[in-house]
Structures are given as C-alpha cells and as structure tokens.
Amino acid sequence: MQTLKNRLINIEDLIRNTEQQFNRPRQSVSLLAVSKTWPASMLRQLAEAGHQRFGENYLQEALTKIKQCTDLNLEWHFIGPIQSNKTRDIAQYFDWVHTVDRLKIAQRLSNQRPDDLAPLNVCIQVNIDNEATKSGIAANELIPLAAEITQLPHLLLRGLMIIPAKTDNVEQQQASFHKARLLFEQLSTLYPSVDTLSMGMSDDMTLAIAEGSTMVRVGSALFGQRATTHNEGNVN
Ligand SMILES: *Cc1c(COP(=O)(O)O)cnc(C)c1O
C-alpha cells in the first residue's frame, strides 16, 4: 500500500509534470491538502514530509486540529461555506479564506481579524456555472465585490475560487475553468495583490492546471476516500 508521504510526492510530481505539459511556469501551481475528516496525525505526517498548506471545511473540526498542530507552523485555509456566527474564529485561526461570497461576511472577517496578525488572505467564490444549489456570487458581481473588499483594512484580496458543475463532459469542464481564468486575469489587472486562482480537485486537477489554476485543492487523491459522515452539499 502507498504511504501518505508517497501519495504526496506523486501528486507534487503530477502537478510539476502538468505545469510543464501545458507551458505553465514551474512552481506556479501550489497544492492545498484538503484534510477535512482526517485526523491531525495524518496532517503531522505530511508536515514531516515538508507540506504545510491545509484546507478545512468544518470550523469545529478544524479548530480541534489547529490546536493539535500549533507546533507545526501550518498554513490554514478555510474552504467551507461561512455563516456569520463563524467569522470570529475563522478570522482568528485561519490564514486564508476561499469562500467569501458577500460583503457582510468580508466586513465581519476584516473587523474581527486580530490586529497583531497579517491581513487575512481572501478569495471570492464565484458560482461559475450558475448552479441554483451552489454558493458563490455570479460572475458579473465579482468586480464590484472585489472593489469593496480591497477597501477593508484587515483583508488582502488574493483571487477567486470556483467549483465547477459536476459533469463527465470534458469540454464543459474546460469551458468553466476557462471562464474562471478570464475573470482571474481581469481581476489581477485591476489589483496587484491578486495572484491566486483556486480551482481543481482530485478528479479534475490536471484539466484545471491546463486552464490556468494556481492552486489545486486535493483531498481524496491524497488522503483516500472520505467516509460520508458529513454533508458535503457545497461540493457537488
Ligand atoms: C472537499 C473539497 C475539496 C477536495 O475534494 P476531493 O475531490 O476530495 O479532492 C476541494 N474543494 C472543496 C471546496 C472541498 O469542499
């Protein structure tokens, strides 16, 4: 059986090879290890292998792990839906948030970010395929929301995040990724802090890299198949 460390090495290799294949600059795509449902001991193994960037969806579960891993100097990314009553802990314990999709949440995160911490890195979630059940703003709301967010003192706008509609149709997936890339380029022209296009998961990461992703969020390909104890309605 493959060890966790071997899977990490294989995924990093896949990312480097895919960058090369599609003429992306070397190291322009980073790996976010999506560790939801997996115990701190597994994060610790990856940290020992040199990996520091972890994504979590469920606040209480994440806080437990963050507290168990304080000695490891990890970088924590919140990638789940955000309710207002969760913003204080997110602002305090996370380094990044990928799922900002309304001004009120952004304002709360900025107000609640402790003064002694660096600004919270944020990506705006765009509902790229206009799915009724999915979080995220419509594409045409991106620039206005970005303009507001860049005024907030304790946030740093880094880019956008998307989860495309679930489909087996490769052309449709490509079209969603490409649309996100155009939005990303538009945003980065307006705001120099924007350098992150968070797109691609275990099943579509190579396609996402081909279309311009700068950060892939990989869970099951790294950790294994999750038990379905959590509601993951925001994912698909
Ligand atoms: C769970 C999750 C992932 C990882 O999904 P896998 O298919 O396991 O790689 C990525 N992004 C978000 C927002 C998620 O909730």
Of the candidates 44, 81, 122, the one whose C-alpha atom is nearest the C-alpha of residue 230 is: 81
pLDDT tens digits for range 10-56: 999 999 999 999 999 999 999 999 999 999 999 999 999 999 999 99
The pLDDT value recorded for residue 227 is: 87
pLDDT tens digits for range 161-192: 999 999 999 999 999 999 999 999 999 999 99
Ligand 1 mutation pick, 125, 215, 216, 217, max ligand atoms within 8 A of CB:
217
Q: Domains plus CATH for the chain?
A: 4-223 (3.20.20.10)
The pLDDT value recorded for residue 229 is: 58
The pLDDT value recorded for residue 236 is: 32
User: Ligand 1 center to residue 22 CA distance, Å?
Assistant: 23
User: Ligand 1 center to residue 129 CA distance, Å?
Assistant: 17
- SS3 label, residue 220: helix
Atom 6 of ligand 1, nearest CA residue: 219
Q: Pocket residues for ligand 1 (CB within 6 Å)?
A: 34, 36, 57, 79, 163, 201-203, 217-221, 235
The pLDDT value recorded for residue 2 is: 78
User: Ligand 1 center to residue 202 CA distance, Å?
Assistant: 7
User: Ligand 1 center to residue 80 CA distance, Å?
Assistant: 9
Q: Which atom of ligand 1 is nearest to the CA of 99?
A: 13
CA–CA gap between residue 52 and residue 83 (Å, rounded): 26
The pLDDT value recorded for residue 233 is: 43
The residue that leads in pLDDT, 229 or 12, is 12
Arithmetic mean of pLDDT, 58-71: 98
pTM of the model as a whole: 0.95
pLDDT tens digits for range 92-138: 999 999 999 999 999 999 999 999 999 999 999 999 999 999 999 99
Residue 230 confidence (pLDDT) above 70: no
Residue 235 confidence (pLDDT) above 50: no
pLDDT tens digits for range 201-213: 999 999 999 999 9
CA–CA gap between residue 51 and residue 45 (Å, rounded): 9
With the C-alpha atoms ordered 108, 111, 112, 116, is the resulting torsion angle positive or negative?
positive
Q: Which atom of ligand 1 is nearest to the CA of 98?
A: 13
Residue 150 confidence (pLDDT) above 80: yes
